[in-house]
Amino acid sequence: MRERCVVFDLDGTLADTARDLIPVLNRTVAAAGVRAVGPEQIRTVAGNGARAMIERAFALSGIRLTPNLHDSLFRRFLADYEANIAANTVLYDDVEAALSKLAQAGHPLAVCTNKPVAMARLLLEKLGIAHRFGAIAGGDSFDFRKPDPRHLTETIRLAGALPSRAIMVGDSLTDIRAARQAGVPVIAVDWGYSSEPVANLAPDAVISRMDQLHAAIAAL
């Protein structure tokens, strides 16, 4: 029997994308008179998509965000981010080694992210790890997205696996909710963009370094 499929979140789990998301956000909202936000103000929503980040920046400045302006800024954000997607973003420590170890052990690997799928693929390619994944599904790959469990289960299907033979690895309540509702065990990383300690969100396991992942999967 094949080893369990391991499905990863991207932002805050595999890569520290806030290093580029926050500068892009600040450039995007500056024209609307919104003051720049710092990592401590926005980092906890950096993995929830550009729209959520824009909303948060406007809320922090106390400025009303209309739907039309939101749409316009969202398009501007995506254009800027595509051009600067890996200017400062880096993989977290030991990610490449962990992926290699899992692949050598026979685990199918996949990514399930709320980032637009084209952006996700582009980033993973620039970071040199896209080839590791049998499936990459983004927030626009289907008509639903995390925390909807179908986003996770369809990603698993694309990877040629079954939910009963899968594990989710993520950094947020969104990931944990999706996994729980899909009946998939979930391992939380404690270095990501969660607004509260991930241990409080009742994942099946918590790791503090990526080199702990293989043992955590084996324990499950």
Select which of 9, 11, 171, 175 is catalytic. Answer: 9
Reported pTM: 0.94
Tell me how far the alpha carbon of residue 111 is from its chain's centroid. 8
Q: For residue 80, how many other CB atoms are within 10 A of its CB? A: 17
- At residue 41, the pLDDT reads 83
Supply 52's token pair.
């959520």
Please write the tens of the pLDDT for every residue from 127-158: 999 999 999 999 999 999 999 999 999 999 99
- At residue 1, the pLDDT reads 45
- At residue 2, the pLDDT reads 73
Q: Where are the beta strands (DSSP E) in the chain?
A: 5-8, 109-112, 135-137, 166-170, 186-189, 205-207
Give mean pLDDT, residues 65-88. 96
3-state secondary structure of 106: coil
User: Would the CA dihedral through 21, 24, 26, 32 be positive or negative?
Assistant: negative
Please write the tens of the pLDDT for every residue from 185-198: 999 999 999 989 99
93 is known as an active-site residue: no
